[in-house]
Amino acid sequence: MTDKKNAGFSPLWAGFLCKCPNCAKGRLFGRFLKVAPSCAACGFDFPESDAGDGPAVFIVLIVGFVVTFAALLVEVKYAPPYWLHAVLWLPLTLGLSIGLLQPFKGLLLAIQFHHGAAEARIEDNEPGPR
């Protein structure tokens, strides 16, 4: 792994923008949430990182807060019928959730890159039961 953590850009911001955390130019994702095998701009092999459920957790918390606050505000101020709430908040919830998935996955992968996170492994030369 090349060390370009201080190359004049924030790898975290690059990850949030779905760019390569190594050069901030190439694309991080090949398909929607599938990480590309390597960066097209700098050739950096993206490690087999897995953000797990991390992006979904942040999105649930953020979108849940925004939509709930907005729905409560609209209800208190205008008291619209319930069907209008459904028309307003269901598409907003879906749009925000799907729209934020890629940036948050990119951010969490960039955080892993920035801190050099790797899967735990056992050294072959350590004594121990086999």
**Shortest distance in whole angstroms from residue 23 CB to Zn ion:** 3
Span of 41-49, 62-70, 88-96, 101-109 interacting with Zn ion by CB under 5 A: 41-49
Is 20 among the residues that bind Zn ion (CB under 5 A)?
Answer: yes
Is 39 among the residues that bind Zn ion (CB under 5 A)?
Answer: yes
Residues linked to residue 19 through DSSP beta bridges, in sequence order: 27
Residue 55 makes CB contacts below 8 A (sequence gap 6+) with 100, 101, 104, 105, 107, 108
Closer residue to Zn ion (CB): 27 or 74: 27
From candidates 11, 14, 16, 22, binder to Zn ion by CB under 5 A: 22
Contact 39, 23 (CB under 8 A): yes
Is 26 among the residues that bind Zn ion (CB under 5 A)?
Answer: yes
Closer residue to Zn ion (CB): 39 or 59: 39
Dihedral of CA 76/80/82/86: which sign? negative
Closest C-alpha among 55, 49, 4, 50 to residue 25: 4
Assigned token pair, 97: 């959730």
Binding site for Zn ion (CB under 5 A): 20, 22-23, 26, 39, 41-42, 44
